[in-house]
Every structure is written in C-alpha cells, then in structure tokens.
Structure 1
Amino acid sequence: MKKLALGFLLLFAITAQAQQKVIPLYPGAAPGSEKWDWNQTESADNVFHGNVVYNVSHPTLTVYLPDKSANTGTAVIVCPGGGLQTLSIEHEGYAVAKWLQKKGITAFLLEYRLMHTLGNDPYKEMLAKMKANTVLHDQAPVAPLANADGRNAIAYVRAHAAEYGISTSRIGIIGFSAGGTIADSTAFGYTTDNKPDFVASVYAYFPPEMQVNVPQDAPPIFLAAAADDQSSIYSTQLYNTWLSAKHSAEIHIYSKGGHGFGMKTQNLPSDTWIDRFNEWLNVQGLLTPVDNTNKSPQQRDQDWANWQKYVEDRIHNDWAWLKKYEDDNAKLPPPAPGEKRVIFMGNSITENWGHIDSTFFKSNGYISRGIGGQTSTQMLARFREDVINLKPKAVVIAAGINDIAQNTGPISLENIFGNIQSMAELAKASGITPILTSILPASEIPWHAGLGPAEKIIKVNAMIKDYATKNHLVYVDYWSAMVNDKKGIKPELAQDAYVHPNLAGYKIMEPLVKKGIDKALKGK
C-alpha cells in the first residue's frame, strides 16, 4: 500500500496539474517520516466548509511561473497555515501564489508534512486537540519535519534557479500562521544553500524562545498581523528582535482582522496587508527585473534569440494575448452611474506601473491593461476586449517602444503611428475619449541592441503630437520631462538604465498623466 501510494504521488508530481509543475521535495520518502503511508487529501467536507489539504506525507512544490516577458528573477516559496493539521490552501496558498505570479515572481507553493488526520475532517480533530489542550504536544514531533521542508524548499529553488530564470540572490519565503512559523524559522540557523534572501510572515506563531541567535547576516523581514489576534504579540517581538540586531524589518499591525485572513476580503483593515507587502517588495528591489545591462554582446544576442522564440510560440497560441485579462474583464462590473472609468492601454511600462506604484491606480480608480513586450499591432488587436468592452470614459494609449525594438518584426514608423491613430479612432467611435502619450526616451534597447531608437522615438512622438493637436485630443509629453542630453532616459529615473522607469520615473509621469486625464474628462 505504501509503495502504491508513493508511486501514485510521484506519477502525479511528474504530470502537470492545471498547467503547474508539481515537484516532489525529496527523491523518495521524506527523511524522518519514512513509515508514513497515509494519502494526501484535498476537501471542503469539514466543519468550516473551507477547502483544505491534509495528510501530507510526501512534501511537494507546485510551480507558478510568471510570463517570460514579466519575469523579475525573484522567487517566493509560499507556506499556507493550518496548525500543522491542515493547509489552508485557498486563501493562503493558491491565491497568494497567483498574486505573486502576476507580479512577475516565480511562486513555489509548498505542501509540507502535517500531523496524521485519522478521519475525514481535520478541523474537527484540531478542535478536539485544542479542547484537550494537546496541540503543542501533538505538533512537537511534526514541527521539525515541516521546518526541514521549508529549508529544503529554499535549497531546491536555489539549486534549480537557472532552470526557472531566477536570481540566486532573490529567493524568499512567505508563510501564514503555522506556515509563518516555518518561514520565520528559515531566518535562523541556515546554510549557504538554504538561506532565504528575504522572509515574510503573516500572523505567525513565533514566541521569544524561538528568536535566539539571530545571524549577523540575517535577511530582511516583513511582518503582518491583526491586534485582535495573539500572533500580533509574537510579530511585534520578532520585529523588535530584528531591530535590536540592526537588521531590516517592517511590520503592520491592523486594528482588526483576526487570525487566518490571508487573501480573504473581509472589509477590514487587514485586507490591505497585500498592498503593503507589494510596496515592501518594491522597496527591496524585488519587483524590478534583474539588471542585464552588463551582459556581453553574445549574451544579449542569446536573449534576443530567446525572445524571438517566445514570440514565435505566442503567435501560434494567442498572438495578441487576448486571454491575459479575460478573467479580470469578465469580473469587472459595468461602470456605476457617474463613474469616470479610465483604462491605461500599454506595454510593460504600463504593466510595471501597477506593480511599482499600485496606489496611484487604486487611489484614482484607474485600470491597467498593460502587457509586457507588446507592440502597437498587438494592442490594436485586443483593443475591443481590453478597452471598448469595458466602457470607460477615457483611455490612455501608450505604445511604440516595442515596435521600434522589433519585438514582432520590423515595422515602419508610419505604421507604428497608424496603429496608435487607429486605436484613437476606435475609441472615439465608441464614445471613449482617447488620451495620447509620448514614447519615453531611450538611447538603446537592452534586449535588441544596435537599433538606434532615440531619433525614431522623436519622429513617432512628433506624429502623435501633431495628430492630437489637429484632432483636439490631449497629448501627454513624458519624453520632455525624462530625457537626458543623450536623448535617452535619465538614469536616475530608470530601473534598467535604458527603457523601464523606476518609482522615481513613475512619480514624474503621474502628475503629467493625471493632469491630462482631468483635462480630457472635464465636463464629461
């Protein structure tokens, strides 16, 4: 029976489930639990009717790969909570991994070893242990095994970093409740192979007796909890421990939220923890793609060849990437009466904007429909699905740099402008006010060197501005505010020295486009 169960698990791990790769954490039986032969189960048939995983005896990692064009080179191992009896797989597992994936981060969902559930309701058994006050006693033999799974997950990701396009210095871990205990534990007693580069834990059990011997090179840590939960005390203590050791730490204690909020929407202060985590990741530089400006010409040529292969594959599947926002568009309700909905249509500069300064979009009610790597031709092909059908009052159109980079092949400057003009005309015909923007300055294309983009950008911008003037449309001039004396972007405003703005760059762009939007919508 044991061999049959293990064989089934390995077969399951080799095949992809829902397009995610599932990897056994150990080549055979996990060390320390060789005699465990119970079968892992996922079910919502329990007293709380919540979807959980239980009876994990053979730990696995499920890989959530970001799109290649958006890959930041950062990886995060996700550890759901559940008191070492279950894994709260929905709001602390799947939802977190998918959120990271959308941010360009490779997520590895860890299903670590748990206590044996004898029946078919792990919550019921946990409640019984709590009533009998035996939880810590029952967890004691399993906790070291679960912690070992967390350490081995980091070691696996570091050893296979090249396979997934991950930087070996950008591998972190996030955990919730008992999963947070695992995450915090990895920040102590690590080796070179299993050291996390950053740690995040949310409402974790991690008392002072576990906060000893803080390493001199301890990683930065992010902590979150709610004041109406006991875990907030442990989080605060760990925060102070990190500060006393002169290590980087950030903490958010919310007035309400309770325990186990994860990615749930409760309309409570704790709902915003994920936004603060996003900001923290950005401050740490983990949302910025790994710098490739120091690559050799041969490496850049290979990058370009890889990009062309990616484009070729996309052509045969979903060339315009209509499916990227398909689910988001379906969930978006019609505009409310009086709502002045604004869509941002663009490429990675637009898409990254929402990652690097998400508060700008949220505070203004703007909606991003940027897709990294896209050309104006691809944007035109998806304009109906991602703009017109969403019935905005206005659309901010930002396109052109990837055309000049020849991402989908050579194209004339006139045709680049023609695609932008066609989007504007489609918008006007649908009662949507188009707002046109300049292409940002660039003296070089890092992924396709030697194209001399600077003068081409100036010429296309002149066409866009002239069309906007003749048709009484708003034209937002980012170029003039961000150009240097070499007709490229000012280095202090770019994350890659050539094309993509950093936070400082977006802070220059934000008031310019906000002024343009307000002007375009005045009286509408």
Structure 2
Amino acid sequence: MKHFKILLVLGMLATAVAASAQETFDATLYNGRPTYDNGDPKDTAKVRVYLPKESEATGRAVVICPGGGYDHLAIKKEGYDWAEFFQNNGIAAIVLKYRMPHGNPDVPISDAEQAMKLVRMNAKGWHIDLNNVGIMGFSAGGHLASTIATQSTGDAKPNFQILFYPVITMMEGYGHEGSFHNFLGDNDGKKYQKRYSSDMHVTRVTPRAFIALSDDDNVVPPANGVNYYMELYRNDVRASLHVYPSGGHGWGSNLKFKYHDEMMLDFKAWLRSF
C-alpha cells in the first residue's frame, strides 16, 4: 500500500509538472480542403504553436507571418526563433506556415485569417485573452500582417500588429517587385494595387502598431513602413516607429544585427505599454 501511495504521489507530481511546462506542437490549419487553392497540392498551410508555462501566461498571443517575398518562408529567423522569445516571456506564439499565393492573394490572406480564428477558438484551452491577440510579420509577411490588420473583421481582426521592415504598398514601383508579382500575378491593375496597399486602408479602428526597419534597406524601401506609420498617426492610431541607421533587410532574430540590443529594448518597452 505504501509503495502504491508513493507511485500515486509521483504520478500526480509528474502530471503537475507537465501541466506547468512550456508546450510546443504542430497543428493543421484546416479540417478538409481550404477555400482557396494555389494549384500546388504539396504546399499545405499549418501552424506551430508555442505556449508558455500556464503559471507565466500573460494571456497575450501573437500569430507570426515570416517573410520571403511570397516565394518562400524564412521561417526560422522570422518565425521559430521569435516564437521562443515570446514563449519565454509568457506570450503564446503561433508561427504560420502560409501557402504561397502564385498570383492569388486570397490564398495567404485566408491562411492568416484562419490562424487568427484558430487562436481565438482555442483561447480557453491555451490560456489566451480573446482581446489580446496580435499579428506579426516580416517583409512580405509584414504585408500579409498589415493586410489582416487593416481589412479583416470579426475573429480574424487582430488587437495589435508588429511589423519588421514590411512591404506595405502594392503600388507598382514603390514596394518590392518580387512580392508584387508573386502576390498579384495577373491581377496587377491599379484596382488591385490599391486594394492590397495597406496604407490606403488605415482607419481609426486599425489596431496599434510597432514598426521597425533600417534606413539603408535597399530591398524594401523604408518609405513603406514610414508612410504606414504616418497614416496610422493621421488616423489617431497609437503606433511606434523605429528606424535604425543601418542593417539592411531581413535581419530577423540575427544577433549580428548591429542594433539588435537596442531593438529588443524598444520592442520590450512597447510590449509593456499596453
């Protein structure tokens, strides 16, 4: 009997430890076929979920959209590495492996919206506050994140947005040529360019934003992020813009980025501000 009690106590302790530990797991984004098809059956949408310890959970969550010019995903330095940072700071992180558009904008947009909805559907079990779910994006992923922030509604609408060296505009000649062609494909007329230019869709109910970029970015013109900030400011949306003197494009989580430490201090301060 004594031996049985010891085993029982040990079992209960193991269960308690498991319940309080960090959790990381993969999940499919859709049950069945997605609404929109990009023509590539091997390109599937999914997420990797990083949950903090229950005792450390702040209730905040962020869906992360890596960049890659709508051609591929820099999913480690602009996804998994950042997810670990959030997880270690009590914030649930959901890294989105979205599908490439191949000229159909609805494909990645629907994936990002579904990821937002997935987080809110699991809010109770994941210890997340329904009203504290944001979206984060890098480069082309920043365009996707800002599109969701400015145009999505209901459970797909984020409460805040985090954009690193983002593509914002789809106006030809002002954004990123590769992202432009991969995202719009043949739908590249002025109507579609304006429809998917996030700076043209900012309103007073657009969620607050953190924007970071480098002054010497020669891949995505810095004016993308700066003009977006100006539209947020013009519409009385709380936003924080950080332009670092150098660093180019695509530094993500790279510790070799000269202003990494300053950037992290700025970012942590912003996260504490609300």
**3-state SS, counterpart of residue 193 of structure 1:** helix
1:174 touches 1:199 (CA, 8 Å); kept in 2? Answer: yes
Query: Paired residue for 1:140, among 91, 95, 103?
Result: 103
Q: 1:212 aligns with which of 197, 200, 219?
A: 200
**Which residue in 1 is equivalent to 2:47?**
61
Which of 171, 175, 178 is 2:140 aligned to?
178
Provide, for residues 140-164 of structure 1, a one-character-per-residue CA deviation record: whole Å limited to 9, x for no partner: 32x3311221122111111221110
Of 253, 270, 274, 1:280 maps to: 270
Matched, 1:268 2:258: yes
Equivalent pair of 1:30/1:58 in contact (CA under 8 Å): no
* Structure 1 Cα separation of the partners of residues 124 and 263 of structure 2: 31
Cα pair distance change 1:19/1:172, threshold 3 Å: closer
Report how many residues are paired.
Answer: 225
SS in 2 for 1:280: helix
CA contact (8 A) 2:23 2:51 kept: no
Tell me the alpha carbon deviations over residues 483-524 of structure 1, each in whole angstroms, 9 at most, x when there is no partner: xxxxxxxxxxxxxxxxxxxxxxxxxxxxxxxxxxxxxxxxxx
In structure 2, the CA distance between the partners of 1:242 and 1:267, relative to structure 1 (3 Å rule), is: closer
The residue aligned with 1:234 is 224
Q: Does 1:149 align with 2:111?
A: yes
Q: Tell me how far apart the structure 2 counterparts of residues 266 and 153 of structure 1 sit (CA, whole Å).
A: 31
In structure 2, the residue matched to 1:26 is 30
Q: CA deviation at 1:61?
A: 1.3
Residue of structure 2 aligned with 1:249, choices 223, 233, 239: 239
Deviation at 1:73, TM superposition (A): 0.4
Query: Which residue type is aligned with residue 32 of structure 1?
Result: Y
Counterpart contact for 1:204–1:231, Cα < 8 Å:
no
RMSD of aligned residue pairs (Cα, Å): 1.8
Pairing 1:201–2:163 present: yes
**Bigger radius of gyration:** 1
For normalisation by structure 2, the TM-score amounts to: 0.77
2:99 pairs with 1:99? no
List aligned pairs for 1:281-296, cutoff 5 A. Answer: 281-284=271-274
Distance change >3 Å, CA 222–CA 36, structure 1 → 2: same
Aligned to 2:186: none
The one-letter code of the counterpart of 1:281 is: L
1-structure distance, mates of 2:103, 2:200:
19
- Report the Cα offset of residue 270 of structure 1: 4.8
**Equivalent-residue separation in structure 1 for 2:260 and 2:118 (angstroms):** 32
Structure 2: distance between partners of 1:58 and 1:91: 20
Per the alignment, in what secondary structure is the counterpart of residue 31 of structure 1? Answer: coil
Aligned to 2:131: 169
Q: 5 Å matches for 1:66-105?
A: 66-105=52-91
- Counterpart CA distance in 2 for 1:220 and 1:91 is 24
Contact 1:203–1:259, Cα closer than 8 Å, also in 2: yes
Conserved? CA contact 1:257–1:270, under 8 Å? no
Residue of structure 1 equivalent to 2:188:
none
SS of the equivalent of 1:92 reads: helix
3-state SS in 1 of match to 2:200 = coil
Uncovered stretches (5+) of structure 1, i.e. residues with no partner: 1-17, 39-56, 116-138, 285-524
Q: 1:27 to 1:251 in 2, by over 3 A?
A: same
Inter-CA distance 271–113: structure 2 relative to 1 (3 Å threshold): farther
Deviation of the 1:198 alpha carbon: 0.2
Trace 1:59-458 onto structure 2 (pairs within 5 A).
59-114=45-100, 139-141=102-104, 143-207=105-169, 209=194, 210=197, 211-229=199-217, 230-270=220-260, 272-284=262-274
Query: 8 Å contact 1:78–1:108 — kept in the other structure?
Result: yes
Per the alignment, residue 41 of structure 2 pairs with 37
User: What is the rounded CA distance, in whole Å, between the counterparts of 2:85 and 2:100 in structure 1?
Assistant: 25
- The answer as to whether partners of 2:36 and 2:110 remain within 8 angstroms in 1 is no
Cα pair 2:65 2:79 within 8 Å, conserved: yes
Q: In 2, distance between residues paired with 1:26 and 1:96?
A: 24
Residue 82 and residue 160 in structure 1: after superposition, are their counterparts in 2 closer, same or farther (change >3 A)? Answer: same
In 2, Cα distance between the equivalents of 1:62 and 1:267? 26
Q: Is the 8 A contact 1:70 1:104 kept in 2?
A: yes
Instruction: Give SS of 1:278's match.
Output: helix
List per-residue Cα deviations over 1:276-314 (Å, max 9, x = no partner): 111101011xxxxxxxxxxxxxxxxxxxxxxxxxxxxxx
Q: Relative to total residues, which structure has the larger helix share, 1 or 2?
A: 1
Secondary structure class of the residue paired with 1:87: coil
In the TM superposition, residue 85 of structure 1 has moved relative to its aligned partner by 1.5
Q: Distance in 1 between matches of 2:115 and 2:203?
A: 20
Structure 2 residue matching 1:163: 3-state secondary structure: coil
In the TM superposition, residue 267 of structure 1 has moved relative to its aligned partner by 4.8
Cα distance in 2 for partners of 1:167, 1:84 equals 30
Alpha carbons of 1:267 and 1:150: their partners in 2 closer, same or farther (altered >3 Å)?
closer
Partner of 2:222, secondary structure, is: helix
Contact 2:68-2:141 at 8 Å conserved across structures: yes
Shift of 1:34: 7.1
Secondary structure in 2 aligned to 1:263? Answer: coil
Normalising by the residue count of structure 1, what TM-score does the alignment of the two structures yield? 0.41
Rounded to whole Å, the distance in 1 between the matches of 2:157 and 2:212 is: 21
Contact 1:79-1:111 at 8 Å conserved across structures: yes
